Amino acid sequence: MSEFPQPDITEINKPFWDGLNNGELLFQECTNGHRWMPASDFCPHCLSNIFKFKKASGKGKLISWVIYNKAHHPAFEKIIPYNVAIIELEEGPKMVSNVLCEKEKLIPAMKLMLKIEKINGLSLAKFLPL
């Protein structure tokens, strides 16, 4: 089974996936100004259920990462080694993604820019070094 894993798209996270399909990365912001990812039906800071999806600038920085040298899903066998990274967006929310560069070039706090890639019909937020 080497089919690319698909996300569980729900009513709450659908705007995020629709945004990627439209070339935008969206995060949530509550009326108290807290911002977060991944999508949730309430603010993880103040528990407010009044929020909007907002467009991110696409700029961020690398917080942390791991390098996978073994594919833990058959769909990823052709791309090892690959990184899984924590990216802090310029607006504050953090997200899990990949940085599209050689593993030796990854450095803490490196500046990044969003690159939306379509993989097997799915739009994914990835990042390039600036």
pLDDT tens per residue, range 20-79: 999 999 999 999 999 999 999 999 999 999 999 999 999 999 999 999 999 989 989 989
pTM of the prediction?
0.92
Q: Would you say 82 and 68 are in contact if contact means Cβ atoms under 8 Å apart?
A: yes
Average pLDDT taken over every residue of the chain: 96
**Residues near 61 by Cβ (< 8 Å), separated by ≥ 6?**
87, 88, 109, 110, 111, 112
Residue at 93: amino acid letter: P
Q: Would you say 82 and 106 are in contact if contact means Cβ atoms under 8 Å apart?
A: no
Which of 72, 70, 69, 33 minimizes the C-alpha distance to 54? 33
